[in-house]
Copies of this chain bind each other. A is one copy, B any other.
Amino acid sequence: MSWNTFGRLLRVTTFGESHGPAIGAVVDGCPPGIPLKEADIQPWLDKRRPGQSRHTTQRREPDRVKILSGVFRDDIITEQVTTGAPIGLLIENVDQRSKDYSAIRDKFRPGHADYTYEAKYGLRDYRGGGRSSARETAMRVAAGAVARKIIPQVEIRAALVQMGPHRINWDNWSWAEVDNNPFFCPDAEAAKVWENYLDSLRKAGDSVGAVVEVIATGAPAGWGAPLFARLDQDIAAALMSIPAAKGVEIGAGFRAAELTGSENADEIYIHDGQARFTKNNSGGVLGGISSGQDIVARMAVKPTSSILAPRRTITRSGEETEIVTKGRHDPCVGIRAVPVAEAMMALVLADQFLMHRAQTGRG
């Protein structure tokens, strides 16, 4: 991982600002011969796309991805496949609403990266958040769609499990329900509560945090490594690299701090000739290496700091002032973080699959 590149062997480099002509990504290191067309990527982008309900920002972007390179078909290879060359992906920015940015040009929005960008770089592209815009995550979703094709044996799904103070009831979990509500909520009951809660927040011009849970099913035992190529370390880095993420946990996570050793360790037995575990406090990772169980991670997302209430802040020239962040914003950015978390998990797992294959010769 360096600057704008994620991954060791499957390497994704993203570029582009919210208000430039386009955003893009290069997915490098993809194995050859994998079927890949734009229609494999677009559905994941559509899931992430804003403006699909009143609960997300009303910025409207078609987010049409183009594959610029790295794929091939001809008269003989009629299904388009990857060639092993880098896959260039591009999405043109369409809805670059020309507006007056002078307010945020001169003031630092609290909770945003304005102050730190300026401290680091001496300047910043303030239009639409520039590089820190949630828009960048579209390219992660596109790259993640490629990653999924590399490890088709693994199913990667995420859901929102907490919105503000309201958690789901895990006993109600239904993957089918996730697509039935605008929150990626696996608990129909909770979804109703959230709907009212979010409506009231939106009316108040406020926002709220959330927790995303991402689960990967089907990864074999053996992916990861003991020290600095740990699977759980990579997942933590991947999820924490998502804008607004403030916490990451694997399996029992912070709850593990409260457990005794006799409560925590997942016992092992044999079922149908296979090793099985009595529960999954480990979250599918032991000693940095996958155990064959579901890989389970959660990410805490903070509320967006773009709210209607005026906040104290300072100007670029160091004077105290107030700011109100108007515009098209998500009252709960955690919702749209769900497909992004899936994508980052897919990127980690595909990379670890390649690392494992490199060292051991097995998949």
Residues of B within 8 A of A117 (CB): 226, 287, 289
Inter-subunit contact B31/A257 (CB<8 Å) = no
CB atoms of A113 and B33 under 8 A apart: no
Determine if A31 and B359 form an interchain contact, defined as CB atoms under 8 angstroms apart: yes
Nearest CB in chain B to that of A121: its residue: B32
B162, B263, B286, B304: the one contacting A261 at CB < 8 Å is: B304
Q: Which of A69, A72, A211, A334 has the most CB of B within 10 A?
A: A69
Q: Is the CB of B256 within 8 A of A88?
A: no
Q: Distance (Å) between the CB of A157 and the closest chain B CB?
A: 20
Tell me if A115 and B209 are in contact (CB < 8 A): no
Task: Report if A278 contacts B (CB, 8 A).
Answer: yes
Q: When chains A and B are docked, how far (Å) is the Cα of A249 from the Cα of B355?
A: 27
Instruction: Mark A126-156 against chain B: 1 for CB-CB distance below 8 A, else 0.
Output: 0000111000100000000000000000000
A243 close to chain B: CB less than 8 A: yes
The residues in A between 299 and 344 inclusive whose CB is less than 8 angstroms from any CB of B are 300-307, 309, 311-314, 318-320, 334
Stretch at the interface among A13-21, A54-62, A168-176, A186-194: A13-21
Instruction: Tell me whether B241 and A228 are in contact (CB under 8 A).
Output: yes
B252 lies within 8 A of A249 (CB): no
Tell me whether A359 and B303 are in contact in the complex, defined as CB-CB below 8 angstroms, given that A208-B261, A209-B256 are known contacts: no
- CA–CA, A30 and B15, complex, Å: 13
Shortest CB distance A160–B (Å): 10
Tell me if A's interface is mostly helix, strand, loop or mixed: mixed
Contacts of A261 in B (CB 8 A): 111, 206-208, 303-307
Across the interface, do B262 and A123 meet the contact criterion of CB distance under 8 Å? Answer: no
Report whether B360 and A354 are in contact in the complex, using a CB–CB cutoff of 8 Å.
Answer: no
Does chain B have a CB within 8 A of A37?
no
How distant is the Cα of A4 from the Cα of B85 in the complex, in angstroms? Answer: 8
Cα–Cα distance between A295 and B14 once the two chains are bound (Å): 27
A304 to B20, CA, bound (A): 40
A137 to chain B minimum Cβ distance, whole angstroms, is 10
Interfacial chain B residues near A290, Cβ < 8 Å? 116
Q: Which residues of B contact A304 (CB under 8 A)?
A: 261
Q: In the assembled complex, which residues on chain B have CB atoms less than 8 Å from the CB atom of A311?
A: 265, 267
Alpha-carbon distance between A266 and B311 when the two chains are bound, in angstroms: 9
Residue of B nearest to A129 (CB): B287
Encode A264-302 as 1/0 by CB contact (under 8 A) with B.
111111100101011001110111111110000000111
Which residues on B sit within 8 Å (CB–CB) of A183?
A: none
A313 to B158 CA separation, bound complex (whole angstroms): 31
Query: In this complex, which of A90, A220, A302 has the most chain B Cβ atoms within 10 angstroms of its Cβ?
Result: A302
- A251 touches B (CB below 8 Å): yes
- One of B29, B85, B248, B305 near A265 (C-beta < 8 A): B305
Cα(A69)–Cα(B228), bound, Å: 17
- Shortest Cβ gap from A124 to chain B (Å): 7
How many Å lie between the Cα of A301 and that of B278 in the bound state? Answer: 21
Judge whether A302 and B264 touch: CB under 8 Å: yes
A198 shortest CB reach to chain B, Å: 11
* Interchain residue pairs A-B with the least CB separation, the first 5: A113-B287, A111-B265, A247-B249, A207-B261, A358-B358
Please give 18 more A-B residue pairs, beta carbons under 8 A apart, in addition to A111-B286, A269-B312: A2-B8, A2-B11, A4-B227, A6-B227, A14-B86, A31-B361, A32-B123, A84-B360, A111-B265, A120-B356, A209-B259, A230-B241, A232-B240, A248-B248, A260-B303, A264-B302, A273-B318, A355-B358
